[in-house]
Amino acid sequence: MPHLLDPRRQAALTDLLNLLPVPSMAAINWQLLDRALIHPSFSPTNNDELEFFGDSALRMAATCFLWRYFGDRRVGELTALRSTIVSDDTLSHIARAYALDRYLLIGASVRGDSKAQKTILADALEAVIGALYFSTNDLSLIQPWLDPHLRRVSDHVLTLPAMGNYKAKLQELTQRIWKCLPEYRTLNQTTPFQVEVWLGDRPLAGGRPKP
């Protein structure tokens, strides 16, 4: 260990790891964990890089989780499910479950910004995941506490009527927010043709069928 943390900070981070809980603290890189909980508004040495790498570790953990529990489902379903279980909404809920904001060092300039709190918490959780991943170079400190949350969210999402029916899901979304339905336009009649989804006078997305 290059240097020791302040004993109060060390104690706080130990409390957090007990809350998760991680299976073992012997391999923890405490400096990385400390850095994971420093917001850019607080210090130039912050969790930006760990959040970036933690995002990849999170997606790997989510993919492994889906393979274990839902490996018999279609790739399209798994892709949609993964996008939900790694979303800022899900991550911020998990972060709140562990009161992550108590351990996060954040500058006064954003502390009172309620609109930014979801993203701040989600980013901090990704950074913590990054710190735990780099402590062991595997998912052993992450999966034991993360998988139960992913399972709970997945089980809920799979009960939704629109799951697997993405056209219906999009229609529900646009009807609720913009009070109108999307329009599907075929750009040409040749093969391969391209289809675009429009909302009013705006194209939302486009794609071609697989050959």
Higher per-residue confidence, 210 vs 65 = 65
Whether residue 196 is found in the same domain as residue 129: no
- Residues in a beta bridge with 185: 196
Q: Are residues 130 and 194 in the same domain?
A: no
Same domain, 129 and 197: no
Total domains present in the chain: 2
Does residue 166 lie within any of the structural domains?
no
Spatial separation of the C-alpha atoms in residues 164 and 76, rounded to whole Å: 8
Domain extent at residue 108: 7-157
pLDDT per position as a tens digit, 2-26: 457 899 999 999 999 999 999 999 9
Residue 182 and residue 152 share a domain: no
Residue 55 falls in the annotated catalytic set: yes
97/188 same-domain check: no
The CATH number linked to 148 is 1.10.1520.10
Instruction: Express each pLDDT in 105-151 by its tens digit.
Output: 999 888 888 788 999 999 999 999 999 999 999 999 999 999 999 99
Same structural domain, 185 and 92: no
Paired strand residues for 186: 195
Note whether 115 and 42 are within 8 A (CB). no
Q: Are 61 and 141 in contact (CB under 8 A)?
A: no
User: What is the distance between the alpha carbons of residues 156 and 164, in angstroms, rounded to a whole number?
Assistant: 14
Buried b (16+ CB within 10 A) or exposed e, 42-64: beeebbeebbebbbebbeebbee
**Could you report the per-residue pLDDT of 174-198, keeping only the tens digit for each?**
777 777 877 767 665 555 556 677 7
Q: Which of 34, 123, 126, 147 is catalytic?
A: 126
Residues 198 and 146 in one domain: no
Quick one: CA dihedral 124, 126, 130, 135, positive or negative?
positive
Q: Tokens 């943390």 label which residue? A: 5
* pLDDT at res. 207: 65
Catalytic residue at 138?
A: no
Q: Are residues 59 and 131 part of one domain?
A: yes
Residues 6+ apart with CB under 8 A from 96: 121
34 and 101 part of one domain:
yes
User: Coil, strand, or helix at residue 11?
Assistant: helix
Residue 194's pLDDT is what? 65
Which one of the listed residues 55, 101, 138, 147 is annotated catalytic?
Answer: 55
